[in-house]
Amino acid sequence: MKVLVVGSGGREHAIAYRLALSSKVDEVICVPGNGGTEFEAKCRNVNPKDFPQYENLSLSNAVVKISKDEKVDFAVIGPEDPLADGISDVLWAEGISVVGPKSAGAALEASKDLSKIFMKKYGVACADSATFTDKDKALAYVREKGAPIVVKADGLAAGKGVVVAKTVEEAENAVKMLMEGTSVGDAGKKLVIEEYLQGVEISVLAAVSVNPEDSSKACIKAFLPARDHKRLNDGAQGPNTGGMGAVCPLEDVSAETMRLFDERILQPTLKGLVAEKMDYRGFIFFGLMLTKDGPKALEYNVRLGDPETQAVLPMMDFDFADLCKAIMDGSLKDFDLKWKSGFQVAPVMVSGGYPLKYPKGLPISFDEEEIENSGAKVFIAGAIRDRRAKEKVLITNGGRVLACSAHGGTFDEAWQKAYDALRGISFDGAFYRKDIGLPGAAESN
């Protein structure tokens, strides 16, 4: 089989790596891929910008053409933006099978208002909220409700659209800033203002197979729970980032919590996707707050999480390509999700200055022996091959540069291996958290 993966992050490297591990997969084409997929066994990067026949096409059309030229069996879409833009609608219409929801499903992430309407309609446990397009009404609402309170831009805002306000004044400023378009542009024209939920956060990724042509096969299956660490510094301090490391599974999440999640969030979500006749064949990511009243959904993402994927996919004790096929052909109900025992820990190495300004183009040095001895897998994110060098040289090209993901029978073993590998990698200004997965590292409020 030939498979195509859209995206260029660490998540996509992990997806491509898992697909390439399948004995049924001959080649994984990464569009555009990164410096990790470029050197991964069975993987080949195809950057549309490098080919005259693709360079002037939209991403969707370039992926259609590459899929046809390369005769790929199916495509997996990594990030949310192409999904929201309807890449899956275009691919299915062109006869190309794809893992990733059509745009109607992708709107569950692209519009927070829509996702709240959906959650409330189908009884998904979540925070109370109200939606506003009028600034004065929004301001009156936050004054009436008081703080703490959470102000969210409706649209996709690359992590900059949510303000957890501790005071009414902070909430008022957030309403003004988001609605006046100074921070997130049009994404903030509509706001969702939400009850503040207290607890610790976890991420649960799930495979979804909902095809309106045969709802009897509709199925959703959750993966092991995971946790991202979004703050820059140890002890969950400092600014928010795209994710500084992930662990899977979680010792502090009980079977009872997962049962409540299934009953109050997972199954109602499936019911809603079926009732709305969505063509949702892909992954869904539940951002959850574990409150004293049980788990509540903070958000849906319509894709796998980054860096959760780098910790969750290596725990899979089944063929990821087979899972993708089951999602697409409606046999997910019969697919047995088997997991390795033990733990996976995946700390992320970032560029100095991230999440603000950071340099690019810095050469990365890898002590191959130390990495090999650690047993960890390095998933590359913001790094590309240095085209001027004849040898394999990677240079930084983003804020989150890579993750070292390691497995261990115990958490401590996995943790040690992952950090041993990180110590074998360096570049100017490289930074990583030293406490991923340790007590006190998780975000809580």
Contacts with ligand AMP by CB under 6 A lie at 127, 150, 152, 162, 164, 194-197, 201, 287, 298-299, 443
Exposure class string for 107-134: b at 16+ Cβ within 10 A, else e: bbbbbbbbbbebbeebebbbbebbbbee
Residue nearest to ligand GLY (CB): 305
CB of 129 to ligand AMP, least distance (A): 8
Q: Which of 142, 306, 415, 421 binds ligand GLY (CB under 6 A)?
A: 306
The H or E element that residue 265 is part of is none
Size of the site for ligand GLY (CB under 6 A): 6
Which of ligand GLY, ligand AMP, none does residue 228 bind to, with CB < 5 to 8 Å depending on kind?
ligand GLY
| Closest among 43, 100, 103, 39 to 70, alpha carbons compared | 43
What would the x/- binding string for ligand GLY be over residues 341 to 380, using CB under 6 A?
----------------------------------------
Kindly tell me which of 48 and 100 has the beta carbon lying closer to ligand GLY.
100
154 touches ligand GLY by CB under 6 A:
no
Kindly tell me which of 40 and 306 has the beta carbon lying closer to ligand GLY.
306
Q: Which two tokens stand for residue 144?
A: 């009436």
Q: Which two tokens stand for residue 367?
A: 């002590």
What would the x/- binding string for ligand GLY be over residues 202 to 231, using CB under 6 A?
--------------------------x---
Number of separate helices (H) and strands (E) present in the chain? 14, 25
Whether residue 61 contacts residue 53, with contact meaning beta carbons closer than 8 Å, is answered with no
Kindly tell me which of 15 and 218 has the beta carbon lying closer to ligand GLY.
15
CB of 443 to ligand AMP, least distance (A): 6
Integer Cα distance of 5 and 12 in angstroms: 7
Tell me the one-letter amino acid at 384.
Answer: I
Which of ligand AMP, ligand GLY, none does residue 298 bind to, with CB < 5 to 8 Å depending on kind?
ligand AMP
CB of 229 to ligand GLY, least distance (A): 9
CB of 306 to ligand GLY, least distance (A): 4
Integer Cα distance of 427 and 22 in angstroms: 33
Tell me the one-letter amino acid at 437.
Answer: G
Which of ligand AMP, ligand GLY, none does residue 164 bind to, with CB < 5 to 8 Å depending on kind?
ligand AMP
What would the x/- binding string for ligand GLY be over residues 1 to 40, using CB under 6 A?
----------------------------------------
Q: Which of 37, 60, 97, 301 binds ligand GLY (CB under 6 A)?
A: 301
CB of 103 to ligand AMP, least distance (A): 20
CB of 46 to ligand GLY, least distance (A): 24
Which of ligand GLY, ligand AMP, none does residue 85 bind to, with CB < 5 to 8 Å depending on kind?
none
Residues 6+ apart with CB under 8 A from 60: 82, 85, 86, 87, 90, 91
Q: Name the pairing type of β-strands 98-99 and 74-77.
A: parallel
Region from 22-30, 193-201, 300-308, 318-326 binding ligand GLY, contact rule CB under 6 A: 300-308
Integer Cα distance of 364 and 362 in angstroms: 6
DSSP class per residue in 107-160: HHHH-HHHHHHHHHHTT--B--EEEES-HHHHHHHHHHH-SSEEEEESS--TT-
Whether residue 103 contacts residue 33, with contact meaning beta carbons closer than 8 Å, is answered with no
| Closest among 113, 114, 97 to 105, alpha carbons compared | 114
Q: Which of 32, 225, 305, 347 binds ligand GLY (CB under 6 A)?
A: 305
What would the x/- binding string for ligand GLY be over residues 226 to 255, using CB under 6 A?
--x--------------x------------
Kindly tell me which of 20 and 197 has the beta carbon lying closer to ligand AMP.
197
Tell me the one-letter amino acid at 138.
Answer: A
The footprint of ligand GLY (CB under 6 A) covers 228, 243, 301, 305-306, 308
